[in-house]
């Protein structure tokens, strides 16, 4: 009983304190009057309203611009479609055509790249014109550098060869250096030429003055033949 009375009095104390804390935030009428009659209060309000109005009108102008653009776009579409509403089948056909066009656009850019990759090894390549070096063994392996050769050490040649190897599916090919097929003076050297990838029997090597193993005469070998503008084969390299 004593405990309960004590608890009650404690609760009452807290309740009273709560009320007093809440009442303590009340301010006097003089303070309210001082703030309410402050001349700055209405000036600040007018500034705030003006700022807000500017902000709202700016947003409204922007929204109006968008709405006008939408209307213009819709009018353009309506003008294209004409005054009467087109039948459903026309719209459906247009949608199908649009889809086909998008699909073609997505598919077409890939196709030439693939054909280029396939055709690259067999299409003859134009080599910039430059007189052939007297020693064809120093010709670099890359077709572009066939006529651009300067005497280099074998190590340097290998380095150039590695650097010039394409990074596509021909990267696993091994090419020898170009071997000269004819001995001609510099003055009669071709100005430019083509590189042609061929597959020939080993027996054909004899005709080019190259040594051949008679036991493997029937086998085929792949090679790049450098043909000058005069139509003569000038050099050959073997591909593995």
Partner 1 sequence: MEHCTDISGFATAAALEPVTHEAVDDELVAAVRSGDEEAFALLFERHRRSVTRLAYRFFYHREQVEDIVQESFANAYFALGAYRGGQERSFIAWLSRITVRACYDALRRSRRAENVMSELNQEEEGLLAEKLRDVGKGSDIECAAISRDLANKLLQRLEPDDRIVLTLLSVGDLSVAETAELTGWSVSKVKMRAHRARRSLRRVLHRFV
> Residue 127: helix, strand or coil by DSSP?
strand
Q: Quick check: 192 and 128 in contact, CB under 8 A?
A: yes
Of 190, 182, 185, 183, residue with least CA distance to 146: 190
Number of residues interacting with partner 1: please give it, by CB under 8 A: 33
Q: Which residues contact 101 (CB under 8 A, 6 or more apart)?
A: none
We find the least distance from the C-beta atom of residue 33 to partner 1, in angstroms, to be 7
We find the least distance from the C-beta atom of residue 112 to partner 1, in angstroms, to be 59
We find the least distance from the C-beta atom of residue 35 to partner 1, in angstroms, to be 5
Q: Give, as ranges, the residues between 35 and 74 that touch partner 1 (CB under 8 A).
A: 35-38, 40-42, 44-45, 48-49, 52, 56
Q: Give, as ranges, the residues between 139 and 158 that touch partner 1 (CB under 8 A).
A: none
Q: Which is nearer to partner 1, 14 or 76 (CB)?
A: 14
We find the least distance from the C-beta atom of residue 67 to partner 1, in angstroms, to be 21
Q: Quick check: 226 and 199 in contact, CB under 8 A?
A: no
The interface region with partner 1, picked from 19-27, 105-113, 131-139, 153-161 by CB under 8 A, is 19-27
Q: Residue 18, interface with partner 1 (CB under 8 A)?
A: yes
Both tokens of 81, joined, read 């479609």
We find the least distance from the C-beta atom of residue 9 to partner 1, in angstroms, to be 6
Q: Which residues contact 237 (CB under 8 A, 6 or more apart)?
A: 141, 175, 176, 177, 178, 179, 223, 224
Both tokens of 128, joined, read 């910039």
> Residue 82: helix, strand or coil by DSSP?
coil
Q: Which is nearer to partner 1, 31 or 229 (CB)?
A: 31
Q: Give the residues lining the site for partner 1 (CB under 8 A).
A: 9, 12-14, 16-27, 29, 31-33, 35-38, 40-42, 44-45, 48-49, 52, 56
């Amino acid at each position: 009983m004593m405990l309960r009375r004590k608890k009650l009095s404690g609760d009452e104390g807290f309740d009273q304190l709560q009320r007093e804390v809440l009442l303590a935030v009340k301010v006097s009428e003089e303070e309210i009057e001082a703030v309410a009659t402050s001349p700055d209060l209405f000036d600040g309000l007018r500034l705030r309203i003006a700022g807000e109005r500017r902000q709202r009108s700016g947003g409204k102008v922007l929204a109006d611009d968008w709405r006008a653009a939408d209307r213009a776009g819709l009018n353009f579409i309506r003008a294209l479609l004409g005054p009467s509403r087109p039948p459903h089948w026309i719209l459906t056909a247009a949608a199908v055509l649009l889809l086909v066009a998008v699909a073609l656009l997505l598919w077409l850019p890939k196709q030439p790249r693939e054909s280029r990759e396939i055709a690259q090894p067999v299409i003859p390549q134009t080599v910039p014109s430059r007189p052939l070096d007297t020693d064809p063994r120093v010709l670099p392996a890359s077709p572009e550098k066939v006529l651009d050769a300067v005497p280099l050490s074998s190590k340097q040649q290998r380095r150039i060869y590695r650097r010039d190897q394409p990074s596509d599916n021909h990267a696993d090919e091994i090419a020898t250096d170009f071997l000269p097929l004819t001995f001609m003076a510099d003055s009669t050297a071709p100005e430019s030429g083509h590189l042609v990838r061929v597959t020939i029997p080993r027996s054909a090597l004899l005709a080019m003055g190259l040594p051949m193993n008679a036991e493997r005469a029937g086998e085929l070998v792949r090679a790049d033949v450098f043909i000058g503008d005069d139509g003569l084969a000038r050099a050959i390299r073997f591909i593995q």
